[in-house]
Chains A and B, each alone.
Chain A
Amino acid sequence: MKKMQKQQENLSNKSKKCRVLGPVANVYAAANTGSWRLERPEVDFEACIKCGTCEKYCPANVISIIKDKVECIEIDFDYCKGCGICANECPKKCISMVPERRES
Chain B
Amino acid sequence: MHDIKHISKGLVPHGVSACAGCGMELIIRNVMDVLGEDTIIVIPPGCSALFSGYGEETALKIPGFQGNLENTAACAAGIRAALNAKGNTHTTVVGFAGDGATVDIGLQSLSGAIERRDKILYICYDNEAYMNTGIQGSSSTPFMASTTTTPTGKRTGRKDLMQIVIAHDIPYAATASIHNLTDLRRKVQKAKETDGPSLLHIHTPCPTGWRYDPSKTIELAKAAVQTGCWVLYEYENEKVTINSKPKELKPLEDYIKIQGRFKGLSAEQRQELQEYTKTSYEKYIKKLESMA
Least Cβ–Cβ distance between A92 and chain B, in angstroms = 16
A11 adjacent to B25 (CB under 8 Å): no
Contact of B58 among A25, A60, A79 (CB under 8 A): A25
User: Looking at the complex, which of B88-96, B212-220, B228-236, B275-283 is the stretch in contact with chain A?
Assistant: B212-220
A29 touches B21 (CB 8 A): no
Measured as residues with beta carbon below 8 angstroms from the partner, the interface class of chain B is 35 or more
> A76 to B14, alpha carbons, bound, how many Å?
9
A27 on interface, CB distance cutoff 8 Å: yes
| Chain A hits for B8, CB < 8 A | 30, 61
Choose from B4, B7, B181 the contact partner of A4 (Cβ within 8 Å): B7
Is there an interface contact between B4 and A7, defined as CB atoms closer than 8 Å?
A: yes
Looking at the assembled complex, report how far the CB atom of A62 sits from the nearest CB atom of chain B, in whole angstroms: 5
User: Which chain B residues numbered 23 to 69 have a C-beta less than 8 Å away from chain A?
Assistant: 23, 25-26, 29, 52-61
Chain A hits for B219, CB < 8 A? 88-89
Q: Is B164 an interface residue (CB 8 A)?
A: no
Q: Could you tell me the dominant secondary structure of chain B's interface residues?
A: loop
On whether A27 and B56 interact (CB within 8 A), knowing A12-B1, A60-B15, the answer reads: yes
With A26-B2, A26-B3: A79-B14 Cβ-Cβ less than 8 Å: yes
Alpha-carbon distance between A57 and B2 when the two chains are bound, in angstroms: 28
Interface residues of A in 1-46 (CB under 8 A from B): 4-12, 14-15, 24-34, 36
Interface string of A43-57 (1 = CB under 8 A from B): 000000000000011
Cβ-closest chain A residue relative to B52: A25
User: Do B3 and A59 have beta carbons less than 8 Å apart?
Assistant: no
Determine how close the nearest CB of chain B comes to the CB of A13; give it in whole angstroms: 10
**What string of 1s and 0s marks CB contacts (under 8 Å) between B174-218 and chain A?**
000010010000000000000000000000000100000111111
Contacting pair A61 B22 (CB below 8 A): no
A14 to B56, CA, bound (A): 19
What residue of chain A has the Cβ atom nearest to residue B53's Cβ?
Answer: A25
Chain A contact-residue range equals 35 or more
- The smallest C-beta distance from B152 to any residue of chain A, in angstroms, reads 30
Q: Which residues of B contact A87 (CB under 8 A)?
A: 215
Q: Please name the residue on chain A nearest to B28 by beta carbon.
A: A59
Contact between B14 and A84 (Cβ–Cβ < 8 Å)?
no
How many whole Å from B11's CB to the nearest CB in chain A?
9
Residue B17, interface by CB 8 Å: yes
Q: Is A85 an interface residue, CB under 8 A from the partner?
A: yes
Taking a contact as CB atoms closer than 8 A, the residue among A10, A14, A59, A78 that contacts B25 in the complex is A59
- Residue B5 interfacial (CB < 8 Å): yes
In the complex, A97 has a CB within 8 A of chain B: yes
Alpha-carbon distance A57/B54, docked complex (angstroms):
26
- Name A25's contact: one of B13, B57, B181, B207 (CB within 8 Å): B57
Q: Which of A25, A28, A64 has the most CB of B within 10 A?
A: A28
Q: Which residues of B contact A32 (CB under 8 A)?
A: 15
- In Å, the complex CA distance between A92 and B54 comes to 39
Residues of A within 8 A of B3 (CB): 9-12, 26-28
Distance (whole angstroms) from the CB of A54 to the closest CB of chain B: 11
Chain A residues in the interface with B (C-beta under 8 A): 4-12, 14-15, 24-34, 36, 56-62, 64, 76, 78-79, 81-85, 87-89, 97
What 9 pairs across the A-B complex have the smallest Cβ distances?
Answer: A84-B215, A30-B15, A83-B21, A30-B13, A25-B58, A79-B14, A81-B20, A83-B20, A88-B215
Q: Which residues of chain B have a CB within 8 Å of any CB of chain A?
A: 1-10, 12-18, 20-23, 25-26, 29, 52-61, 178, 181, 207, 213-219
